Structure 1
Amino acid sequence: MNPVLRGLAALLALSLAACASLSPAQRDRATAIAAAARSTQIDCAGADACAQPSALYALGPQAVAESTEQQPRHYTVILDRGPDALLARINLIRSARHTLDLQTYIFEEDDAARLVLDELLAAARRGVRVRLLIDQLAAMRHVDTLAALAGAHVDFEIKLYNPVLHRARITYPQYALAAACCWRRLNQRMHTKLLLADGRVGISGGRNYQDDYYDWDDEYNFRDRDVLVAGPVAQVMGTDFQVFWSDRRSVPVERLADVGKRILEQGVPALPPSHFERPQRAQAMREAAADPQQIRERLLSQVIAVGAVRYISDTPDKHREDAEANALASDSLRNLIANARDEVMVQTPYLVLSKSAQDLFRTLHARPDRPRVIVSTNSLASTDAFIAYALSYKYKRRYLREFGFNIYEYKPFPADAPIDIAATGAQLPDLGLAGLAEADAAAQAEPAGADAATPRGAIAEGADPNEIRGAGLAESRPRRAERGEPDRSSVLYRQRYRQPLTQEYAAMRYARRRTNEPVPLKRAGVRIGMHAKSMVIDGRIGVIGTHNFDPRGDHYNTESTVVIDDAVFAQALAASIRRDIAPENSWVIARRDKPPIFSGLEYSIAKISEHLPIFDLWPVRYATSYEFVPGPDCPHPLYRTDPGFRACYKPVGDFPEVNLGVKSLTTRMFTAFGAGLAPIL
């Protein structure tokens, strides 16, 4: 048989194997085996399921008691810090008395996710009904884990949303097959994220269940944000979860081909005990979740009382043929922006706008009373999705000139980020006094227009270097080499590969491994990438959710968002975003200096090149990155449109901090040829 025929035969065999499903009778038998294996033992006889007393949980009943139909009452907590977000989740899980509903895009099997899973199973064993709904493409990586969970306990249920090829797990070749046969369905993902305790207290926002969302990864962590909401809107969250749970696209894992086959052939496997990479850290989190003082200091001290709260969520109806008519989250966000008067603050990890979003911002900028638009997003050095950045890079001129954006790109080693570097477990460099002084000097300025309550970046006198966030946690390669340490400047070549399924951005999820990972940098350290999805309108309306303000969110993913019309809440959220765009944490994107001659011709050619869907090959881009240089004449940061901007900022290149090489070339290639990927990125 010649090579072509052999290849076709292999492809046919793969197709048949991938599409092989269980018969209805086999699915029913696997379901019965799983049901029979489920433990019925309840460890608690109390009516409250032996729930742990929790002042955080108590906010729910308190808010409901204080509410009327005309004047609802809610209590909220902005969860900026990863460990605090994990602490809040574990505390709420332990305090639940009747039901726990968890809905997420990613659920890994690393320390943070396994800790949450252990707590969910413990809740089920004390009599709480637990339902876990995960998107198929980002579910747990082992079929045996899913099979074990299918038969773990009578009060624990797990489903996967929209499983392509009728499987829980798919391989790279199977992904390629699914892309060929079922492209639209493959891209229709459940990006909604929610944890709900007893229909009284809910958490929603950007975080999934994986170490790097909680500052537990020793190389790359997300700067993310959730919001805890206690009060009547939690009932709306519960109704929305029920819609997803009851939808035909949500399938019990035991009815999927690979999990069902495992159960049919070998029965329900035992779930092995959790083995944590850093057990002391997991134990410390368990203890903190039971410590009322830590809950009070880290969470209750941040409570903001508000009135009405809206939870706006796409339903599975978005994945019908008329998806545009069911994009509730996208429509809501667009309406908020369209009605802005003074200022729109947007924070998104991926600045790739849909056509409708571009039309909206173009119209907004054309208004005589146009509001200021501030955008906080990733730089190439900080992003985990360089292809998405390449598309953002392509349209910088449009964003600045036609939409009037003030763009701030996050640094990979921000000096004043709400990231607990010590929690990562990384081996930190010895900063010494010089490092502390340098970090302190970098944190003295704040952006123009910042609220007086905006957190500053100064390092406290006598601070422990291992608890300093951001600054000084990167160092040059030669210094590390002198000490004989490995170069960890990039996760590009690390042995513990970040699985493609854990990538939030979908277009190239199953391409070569190195395609999906952050670019190599000039310095080593614990890198931070922006993942928060938030918005503030006119300093009055605060939005925290899952929507990346991108084409996927408009057309493919189900998204959810919490909208709060309250000045105190909105200003607290704005202060958090202003901290992220401060000079010590972000670069400013602005027009590069005009060439001395033929500047008009150069601009026209670049504009024409940008509008080409492919072959955008003009080498000189309109904009570049700038660093604030404080001094006697430059005491405060300025907006890029300020007449004194160029006297206070220095250009630092298109890709600051990046170790220019193949990835830089690839970024420019996607800028030139990748416009067609925008709808699916």
Structure 2
Amino acid sequence: MDPLTPLSSLSLVADSDQAFTLRVTLARLATRTLDVQYYIWDDDTTGKLLIYRVLEAARRGVKVRMLLDHANQLGRDVKWASLDAHPNIEVRLFNPFHGRFKHFHQWLYHAPLLNHRMHNKAWIADGERCLVGGRNISDHYFGVNPASNFRDLDWYASGPIAAETRDAFETYWQSDLAMPLKTLRRYRPERAERSWQWLSRWRRSLKNYPYLFPQHEQFFVDYLAKQEAQCEQAPAVLLFDSPEKAAGATQSLMGDQLARLLDREDHREFLLEASYFIPGDDFVAALSRLRERGGRAAVLTNSLATNDVIAAHAVYAPYRRALIRGGVELHELQPNAHSMKRQVRLFRGRSKASLHTKAMVLDRREIFIGSFNMDPRSLHLNTEMGYYVVSNSLGKQVAEFIEEGLSPVNSYRLEMAGEALRWGGVDKQGKPAMLDHEPRTSLMRRWLAAFLALLPIARFF
């Protein structure tokens, strides 16, 4: 990092209630602009509550811009158009699936480009404060889904890095791939008012939901002050792909930048937490070289039981033996991970843990947290973003977060007995236990993963 890089104010956002409340707080306290950029924005309770806050900001006179990847919004154009009808809100869809190709043969010709998606996540208030990291907008990311909830991590930031984030958003917003929703569907302003009335009634009807806050402004002023008191001053750089990557431009900017960091010979420790970890031969070799130099490399990723994409696990699984032989401490998340108990706000004890974090820390000092999965899709297909930060105090915090995930009550450590894999953890009584097959999975799920591993599907990830 350039020694002249200006200092920004940053803190980690690890807890689900903190992540939700900060998004509401930034929307509630915005006075001029609110820019949001997301890969997924679900139409569930969390999604609706945050839409309520977005619309509330617009009604106060805040100019709102929403940039959403269209792949996850198919069939919801009517709902977004109702929001877009408000004079202070504009919605744009990134790399839309329809509206550009009039005939089937045109769509078929361009279909490979539609596999390139905008994976970025950013929530920016007044161009001065922002949230950037791994979380999408959905119940799964905020501890309130009955089936499964994600372990995840965001940055809260202000200062120069927030201005860089705003400028990056502007680059995407002005891209030819960002299509104004009004070109596809347009409603009169009364439609937005009807949406507001419906959302207000619906919100008042919610019972036993953890994220219902007082409406008075002082609550949010105090909450933001508490968050900013946790911030550290540190040099920070925004790493992000150009939107042209989604138009088929060949680039691996994010991957190249991170690879240069990893392959420096002065590093002695590398900790990684990644949801969809598909390292490739070069990355396995880089981790092995670190170990050969006497360093430590530890990785936490999803197990077959916690991975929400079985095919991604199937592509990752063949690398496990090479990683272990190379001296990498390889861990996979347990579906009943102890650390998730403080994250889950509803359905505690019933919902399964899953991993969505994308974080790494080198020598407990150099940190990257963002949307970038350590997989070929992030490298070659999707656009990504994140912050590279140099800080001893923040590095220690990220390392402690990852080390918590690596502990035996949260993850299985993989070992080898000959060529056979073994999963080590603790049993219900807290005693060490060793398993000889993918833990807590059905025979059918294991069979499907093994079958998918035989197929040439790596290029899709």
Q: Tell me whether the two structures share a fold, i.e. TM-score over 0.5.
A: yes
Give the corresponding residue for 1:351.
277
Taking the aligned partners of 1:323 and 1:251, their CA distance within structure 2 comes to 22
Instruction: After the TM superposition, list the runs of 4 or more consecutive aligned residues in structure 1 that deviate by more than 4 angstroms.
Output: 176-180, 267-270, 286-290, 628-631
Counterpart of 1:96 (choices 25, 30, 43) is 30
Give the corresponding residue for 1:569.
394
Taking the aligned partners of 1:280 and 1:390, their CA distance within structure 2 comes to 39
The alpha-carbon distance between structure 1 residues 163 and 653, as it changes in their structure 2 partners (threshold 3 A), is same
Deviation at 1:177, TM superposition (A): 8.9
The alpha-carbon distance between structure 1 residues 283 and 304, as it changes in their structure 2 partners (threshold 3 A), is closer
Alignment of 1:634-649 (within 5 A): none
Give secondary structure in 2 for the equivalent of 1:106. coil
Higher deviation after alignment, 234-243 or 311-320: 311-320
Give the corresponding residue for 2:439.
656
Are positions 1:627 and 2:409 aligned together? no
Taking the aligned partners of 1:188 and 1:145, their CA distance within structure 2 comes to 24
Taking the aligned partners of 1:322 and 1:76, their CA distance within structure 2 comes to 32
Higher deviation after alignment, 562-571 or 292-301: 292-301
Taking the aligned partners of 1:254 and 1:232, their CA distance within structure 2 comes to 33
Deviation at 1:528, TM superposition (A): 1.0
Unaligned runs of 5+ in 1: 1-68, 169-173, 429-472, 474-524, 595-602, 604-621, 636-647
Counterpart of 2:171 (choices 243, 246, 263) is 243
Deviation at 1:143, TM superposition (A): 3.0
Give the corresponding residue for 1:552.
377
Taking the aligned partners of 2:272 and 2:373, their CA distance within structure 1 comes to 10
Structure in which a larger fraction of residues adopt strand? 2
Give the corresponding residue for 1:379.
303
Query: In the TM superposition, what whole-angstrom CA distance separates every residue of 1:356-396 from its partner, at most 9, and x where no partner exists?
Result: xx314304424641531110111111111111112222221
Counterpart of 1:198 (choices 123, 126, 132) is 126
Comparing both chains, which one has the higher relative contact order based on Cα–Cα distances under 8 Å and sequence gaps of 6 or more?
2
Deviation at 1:306, TM superposition (A): 2.2
Contact 2:118 2:246 in 1 (8 A): no
Give secondary structure in 2 for the equivalent of 1:273. helix
Contact 2:284 2:322 in 1 (8 A): no
Contact 1:223 1:419 in 2 (8 A): no
The alpha-carbon distance between structure 1 residues 532 and 290, as it changes in their structure 2 partners (threshold 3 A), is farther
Give secondary structure in 2 for the equivalent of 1:309. strand
Deviation at 1:148, TM superposition (A): 1.1
Give the corresponding residue for 2:321.
397
Higher deviation after alignment, 244-253 or 142-151: 142-151
Give secondary structure in 1 for the equivalent of 2:176. coil
Taking the aligned partners of 2:217 and 2:285, their CA distance within structure 1 comes to 47
Query: In the TM superposition, what whole-angstrom CA distance separates every residue of 1:107-157 from its partner, at most 9, and x where no partner exists?
Result: 111111111111111111111111000000112753321221221x21111
Overall identity of the aligned pairs, in %: 24
Are positions 1:222 and 2:150 aligned together? yes
Give the corresponding residue for 2:237.
310
Deviation at 1:323, TM superposition (A): 1.7
Counterpart of 1:329 (choices 231, 241, 254) is 254
Counterpart of 1:669 (choices 427, 451, 458) is 451
Taking the aligned partners of 1:655 and 1:360, their CA distance within structure 2 comes to 24
Contact 2:134 2:370 in 1 (8 A): yes
Query: In the TM superposition, what whole-angstrom CA distance separates every residue of 1:474-497 from its partner, at most 9, and x where no partner exists?
Result: xxxxxxxxxxxxxxxxxxxxxxxx
Taking the aligned partners of 1:112 and 1:288, their CA distance within structure 2 comes to 20
The alpha-carbon distance between structure 1 residues 88 and 348, as it changes in their structure 2 partners (threshold 3 A), is same
The alpha-carbon distance between structure 1 residues 548 and 363, as it changes in their structure 2 partners (threshold 3 A), is closer
Give secondary structure in 2 for the equivalent of 1:543. strand
Contact 1:91 1:289 in 2 (8 A): no
Deviation at 1:293, TM superposition (A): 8.8
Give 2:445's aligned amino acid.
K
Q: Give the number of aligned pairs.
A: 450
Contact 1:289 1:295 in 2 (8 A): no
Deviation at 1:86, TM superposition (A): 0.6
Contact 1:192 1:560 in 2 (8 A): yes
The alpha-carbon distance between structure 1 residues 652 and 286, as it changes in their structure 2 partners (threshold 3 A), is farther
Give secondary structure in 1 for the equivalent of 2:156. strand
Deviation at 1:568, TM superposition (A): 0.6
Give the corresponding residue for 1:411.
334
Deviation at 1:268, TM superposition (A): 5.6
Give 1:406's aligned amino acid.
E
Alignment of 1:122-201 (within 5 A): 122-139=56-73, 141-151=75-85, 153-166=86-99, 180-201=108-129
Give the corresponding residue for 1:585.
410
Query: In the TM superposition, what whole-angstrom CA distance separates every residue of 1:387-410 from its partner, at most 9, and x where no partner exists?
Result: 111222222112222x43211111
The alpha-carbon distance between structure 1 residues 103 and 125, as it changes in their structure 2 partners (threshold 3 A), is same
Higher deviation after alignment, 223-232 or 313-322: 313-322
Deviation at 1:195, TM superposition (A): 0.8
The alpha-carbon distance between structure 1 residues 99 and 296, as it changes in their structure 2 partners (threshold 3 A), is closer
Alignment of 1:456-495 (within 5 A): 473=349
Taking the aligned partners of 1:177 and 1:630, their CA distance within structure 2 comes to 57
Deviation at 1:285, TM superposition (A): 3.5
Counterpart of 2:55 (choices 99, 118, 121) is 121
Deviation at 1:288, TM superposition (A): 9.4
Query: In the TM superposition, what whole-angstrom CA distance separates every residue of 1:507-545 from its partner, at most 9, and x where no partner exists?
Result: xxxxxxxxxxxxxxxxxx211100000000011111110
Give secondary structure in 2 for the equivalent of 1:375. strand
Contact 1:91 1:290 in 2 (8 A): no
Counterpart of 1:537 (choices 339, 352, 362) is 362
Contact 1:223 1:418 in 2 (8 A): no
Deviation at 1:581, TM superposition (A): 1.1
Taking the aligned partners of 1:568 and 1:527, their CA distance within structure 2 comes to 31
The alpha-carbon distance between structure 1 residues 283 and 569, as it changes in their structure 2 partners (threshold 3 A), is closer
Contact 2:288 2:323 in 1 (8 A): no
Contact 1:205 1:227 in 2 (8 A): yes
Contact 1:193 1:204 in 2 (8 A): yes
Taking the aligned partners of 1:138 and 1:92, their CA distance within structure 2 comes to 24
Contact 1:76 1:227 in 2 (8 A): yes
Query: In the TM superposition, what whole-angstrom CA distance separates every residue of 1:383-441 from its partner, at most 9, and x where no partner exists?
Result: 1111111222222112222x4321111111112336433x22x2x6xxxxxxxxxxxxx
Give the corresponding residue for 2:267.
341
Taking the aligned partners of 1:626 and 1:80, their CA distance within structure 2 comes to 26
Taking the aligned partners of 2:402 and 2:191, their CA distance within structure 1 comes to 47
**Looking at CA atoms only, which structure, 1 or 2, has the larger radius of gyration?**
1
Give the corresponding residue for 2:285.
362
Give the corresponding residue for 1:319.
246
Query: In the TM superposition, what whole-angstrom CA distance separates every residue of 1:56-81 from its partner, at most 9, and x where no partner exists?
Result: xxxxxxxxxxxxx9573322221111
The alpha-carbon distance between structure 1 residues 292 and 201, as it changes in their structure 2 partners (threshold 3 A), is closer
Are positions 1:109 and 2:43 aligned together? yes
Give secondary structure in 2 for the equivalent of 1:87. helix
The alpha-carbon distance between structure 1 residues 108 and 373, as it changes in their structure 2 partners (threshold 3 A), is same
Query: In the TM superposition, what whole-angstrom CA distance separates every residue of 1:629-679 from its partner, at most 9, and x where no partner exists?
Result: 899xxx9xxxxxxxxxxxx95421321122x232221111112x13x2112
TM-score scaled by structure 2? Answer: 0.89
Counterpart of 1:678 (choices 438, 458, 461) is 458
Taking the aligned partners of 1:154 and 1:292, their CA distance within structure 2 comes to 26
The alpha-carbon distance between structure 1 residues 116 and 292, as it changes in their structure 2 partners (threshold 3 A), is closer
